[in-house]
């Protein structure tokens, strides 16, 4: 049994973490900090978390957090790095759900997020927490940069086909759609029900911050210079991501060869499912699963890949717990199936 703290526990990812960890056989949820909800009972804010009815949100207490075995940070970028750095240096294992420790390049991070990193040296130490690619590094790490939701839905389907030279490392188009919870729990007119319902829109066209994360992670792990065009869209649903990826083929292949390649990479991965059908968001709601399907467009020489995941689970909190399980030597699926 390990003792766990959560920074910024009041948001959507914090709620999802509390929900998963409250039923995790090896987890003791000890500290759930929230500046805005400090002193309130967990169930006053989230009545569904009945297993935590005797727990309250606390204020920020770094001394108490430093006594935990692991701390999850659900704080925004920039705010997260400073506190994570302090906790990491006390010997606590840290899993950061912001972007602050996802990058190896300080320049790319700072240019993308327009802030200065609080502890640039730790970027060399942190491990990108995508288990299906970095499992062995995660086992040895005490500082994890938990991937973003859009990036997970893009990197997992592209990694095998780029690495094996089936598709080009440039000219890739990623067209992603996410439910509104992907924007976090905040007051924003653009996310109000009336603004979102019965509508559908693109945003961050050519400028979205996840583009650089996708490119850096794929480039580092395939030894190729990967560039993508990434466009996100807002769906009028609560949760879920569907990404449609258009990748130029570099060799003549049929769909069986693509299927076999994905099976080679992911057949032993509990949460990755390769399907010959085209996946839908409802297949993954409230799960840590990813489904990947594809078609070959022979006329345009394109591999078209469809991936789906739940942005709050495999795209955030579930993946964070998966990383925790690996770090502490638990069965990777504990608390997640």
Q: Catalytic positions, please?
A: 149
HSE toward the beta carbon, residue 303, CA cutoff 13 A: 30
At residue 54, the 3 state secondary structure works out as coil
The secondary structure of 74-135 as a DSSP string is: -PPTTHHHHHHHHHHTTT-EEEE-SSTTS-S-HHHHHHHH-S--S-GGGGTT-EE--HHHHH
Nearest-CA neighbor of 244 among 180, 307, 178, 166?
Answer: 307
Per the CB < 8 A criterion, the answer to whether 161 and 258 are in contact is: yes
The secondary structure of 271-309 as a DSSP string is: TEEE-SSPP-GGGTTTSS-EEEEEEEETTTTEEEEEEEE
CA-CA-CA-CA torsion sign (159, 179, 184, 334): negative
- What's the burial of 254, exposed, middle or buried (CB within 10 Å: 0-12/13-18/19+)? exposed
Nearest-CA neighbor of 244 among 122, 336, 150?
Answer: 150
Q: Tokens 């994890």 appear where?
A: 144
CA-CA-CA-CA torsion sign (261, 264, 267, 268): negative
Q: What is the DSSP pairing of strand 302-309 with strand 290-297?
A: antiparallel
Which residues lie closer than 8 Å to 178 by C-beta, 6 or more apart? 149, 150, 232, 233, 234, 235, 240, 241, 311
Helix axes 210-222 and 149-163, enclosed angle (nearest 10): 30
């Amino acid at each position: 049994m390990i003792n766990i703290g959560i920074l910024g526990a009041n948001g959507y990812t914090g709620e999802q973490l509390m929900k998963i960890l409250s039923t995790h056989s090896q987890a003791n949820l000890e500290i759930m900090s929230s500046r805005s909800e400090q002193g309130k009972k967990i169930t006053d804010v989230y009545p569904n978390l009945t297993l935590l009815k005797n727990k309250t949100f606390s204020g920020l207490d770094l001394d108490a957090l430093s006594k935990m075995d692991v701390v999850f940070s659900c704080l925004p970028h920039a705010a997260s790095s400073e506190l994570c750095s302090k906790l990491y240096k006390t010997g606590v294992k840290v899993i950061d759900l912001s972007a602050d420790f996802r990058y190896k390049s300080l320049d790319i991070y700072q240019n993308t997020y327009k802030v200065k990193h609080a502890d640039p040296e730790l970027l060399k130490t942190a491990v990108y927490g995508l288990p299906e690619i970095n499992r062995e590094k995660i086992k040895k790490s005490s500082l994890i940069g938990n991937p973003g939701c859009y990036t997970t839905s893009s990197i997992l389907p592209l990694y095998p086909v780029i690495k094996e030279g089936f598709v080009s490392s440039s000219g890739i188009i990623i067209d992603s759609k996410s439910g509104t919870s992907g924007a976090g729990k905040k007051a924003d007119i653009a996310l109000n029900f009336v603004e979102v319902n019965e509508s559908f829109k693109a945003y961050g066209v050519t400028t979205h911050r996840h583009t650089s994360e996708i490119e850096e992670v794929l480039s580092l792990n395939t030894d190729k210079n990967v560039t993508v065009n990434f466009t996100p869209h807002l769906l009028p649903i609560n949760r879920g991501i569907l990404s449609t990826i258009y990748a130029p083929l570099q060799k003549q292949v049929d769909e069986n060869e693509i299927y076999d390649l994905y099976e080679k990479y992911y057949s032993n991965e509990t949460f990755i499912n390769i399907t010959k059908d085209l996946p839908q968001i409802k297949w993954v709601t409230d799960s840590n699963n990813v489904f990947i399907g594809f078609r070959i467009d022979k006329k345009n020489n394109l591999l078209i890949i469809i991936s789906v995941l739940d942005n709050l689970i495999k795209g955030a909190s579930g993946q964070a717990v998966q990383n925790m399980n690996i770090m502490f030597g638990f069965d990777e699926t504990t608390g997640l199936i």
